[in-house]
Structure formats: structure tokens, C-alpha cells
Amino acid sequence: MAITLGEIAVRFGLELAGDPGETVQGVAALAAAGPGQLTFCTGARYRRELAAARATAVVLPPELAAECPVAALVAARPYASYARIAALLNPPPRVVAGRDSSARIAEGASVAASAWVGPYAIVAAGATVGKRCSIGAHCVIEEGARLGDDCRLHPGVTVCRGVRVGARCVLKPGAVVGSDGFGFAPDADGYVKVPHLGSLVVGDDVEIGANTTVDRGTIDDTVIEDGVKLDNQVQVGHNCRIGAHSVVAGCVGISGSSSIGRRCMIGGAVGIAGHLEIGDDVVVTGYSLVTHSLPGPGTYSSGMPAIAAADWRRAVARLHRLDSERRRPGRGKGG
């Protein structure tokens, strides 16, 4: 589809410096975009690419508008505005109502007439699929699970028994939501499995990445609030709560019964121990290990960035020498 710059400016509340009648029909990166395409620039570090821009229009912050050689769409948050425009120019495929002949929908399941159920998908008894949902191939929606309107399940998703998913959620390939968590009580001769009698409640506008797993609660429910975005291969343990509009990057592990506040940003490969509370507006940088509760707001880090192997070996040797010095007999407190 093609849309004029004037329409874009009005629709998204942007200031336009350029011809409102010019049209764009696609997007591209700043260095690669050409005529008929829209791109974005987020800050001064991209000044060189901006000066050479050949796109029809660039979405950028106010301080760079005067440097733009083509039409400028001025935005307080250029990347977010670009994302909205890109979504407008590239809408998701329209859901075509129906069901594949190989799909299995149990008696007692409720599937909206406007929904699509793909090849070999299974909708169990008592499950509910809302309006305009798209259920991909080989998905399984177990007994009593409920999907709100306009959800999209990519192939191979499993929504376990009794799970409640809000409206406009996206679950990517291989995601499993609502399975039993890792709950075992130690006993004299081994471990006793703890029954997971709670469920999982997912709010509206949540995205759950490929091969991400979110466990159900043991007694109370696990809760993922509105607008949360979970990246690929994230593990959310039983009884966790993730506050609205928080984002969690890939390969994060969140142990059971931990609570993450609203608008948090959890970097890649972060490990969060169990029974902790992370406040609102907390940022945890990648590869950090969180072993105690973190009040918000604030930014927290741990771990050591990669350095040359020789430098790392010298640093470790120094640490060992410091420890040896500390343990030497006869050293006083002031040593």
C-alpha cells in the first residue's frame, strides 16, 4: 500500500518538513532506503548516514530535523513512531475464517465463526477461541483454555489446561504456556512432586517468543500483565508475576515466585533467583545475576564484560594473589 506523508503526519501526530503529497510504500534501513521508502534515524551517531539519505522521508528527533536532506517526520520517539508507520505499511495477513480439514475440534469446544484453525491443530473440550483468532498448524489448546479476540498462535504452540489468554496476544512457534513448573519437595529418600493446581493468566497485547515457556502456578496463578513482551527462549517459573509493559530479552530465566514490576527491562541471559521482588521501572543489563530484591527505579548490572584472554588470566591471577595475601599468617587487620 502507498500512503502520503501528510496522512502519516496527521495519523501519528508528527511534524512534517516536506511535501505532504509525497508517498511512501515501504521501509528500509537508513543507509539503504531509496525513493518511495521511509526510514528512521534515532540520534547523532547516525549523522553521516543521515547526510547521505536517499529515502523519501526520514523519521527523526527534533534536533536532527535541520540536517535532513529529504522530507523529515519529526517525532519525540522516532523509533516508536517508525514502528507504527512500518506496521501500517505492512499489516499482518488478514485472518480468513474456517478450519483445516485435519484440525480436530472437540465437542464442547467454542471456536468463533470468524477464527481460523490450521492443519492438525487440536482444540480440546471446554476450550474457547475468540473472534478473528488465528490458530497455526499443530497447535494444541487444552481443556478449558481461553483465548481472547484477535490472538495469533504461530505453529506448534501449546496452551495448557485452564490457561486464560487476553486479546490481541501473539504466541510464537513452540511456545508453551501453562505447563507444570519445576516444583519438587525434598523428602528423606528423594523428591515429591508438588501438584500445580493454579493456572496462568495472560493479559491483553502480550507477545510470547519462540520456544518460551511460562509455568502455571502451584496454588495461586502465574500472571503476565497487559503489554508484556517476552523474547525467545525465556523461562518464567511458577507463581511469577510480570508487571504491565515490561520487556524480557532472550534466554532469561526467572525462578519461581519472583515478581517483576511494571515497565521493567530485563536484558538477555539474565538469571533471577526465586522469591524476589523487582520494583517498577527497573533495568537489569544483560548477563546479570539477580540474587536479591531490587527496588525501583534504577539500573542494575553484574558479571564481567568479555576481555582478551591474556588480560582475563592476569586479572584472575591477581585475584588469587589478593586472597592468598589476605590468608597469610600474622597479617593484621590493617594489612
Taking the CA of residue 121 as centre, how many other CA atoms within 13 Å lie in the half-sphere pointing to its CB? Answer: 27
Q: Which of 115, 161, 126 is nearest to 140 (CA)?
A: 161
On whether the CB atoms of residues 2 and 23 are closer than 8 A, the answer is yes
Identify the active-site residue in 138, 154, 196, 238.
Answer: 238
Active-site annotation holds for 238: yes
Taking the CA of residue 288 as centre, how many other CA atoms within 13 Å lie in the half-sphere pointing to its CB? Answer: 18
Q: Which helix (H) or strand (E) holds 219?
A: none
Query: How would you list the strands of the sheet with 222-224, edge to edge?
Result: 110-111, 128-129, 146-147, 164-165, 200-202, 222-224, 241-242, 259-260, 277-278
CA–CA distance, 254 with 237 (Å, rounded to integer): 6
CA angle 227, 141, 143 (to 5 degrees): 115
Q: How far is CA 312 from CA 106, 256, 308, 324, in A?
A: 60, 34, 6, 19
Q: How many residues does the chain have?
A: 335
Taking the CA of residue 205 as centre, how many other CA atoms within 13 Å lie in the half-sphere pointing to its CB? Answer: 7
Contacts of 33 (CB under 8 A, 6+ apart): 27, 39, 53, 54, 55
Q: Supply the residues annotated as catalytic.
A: 238
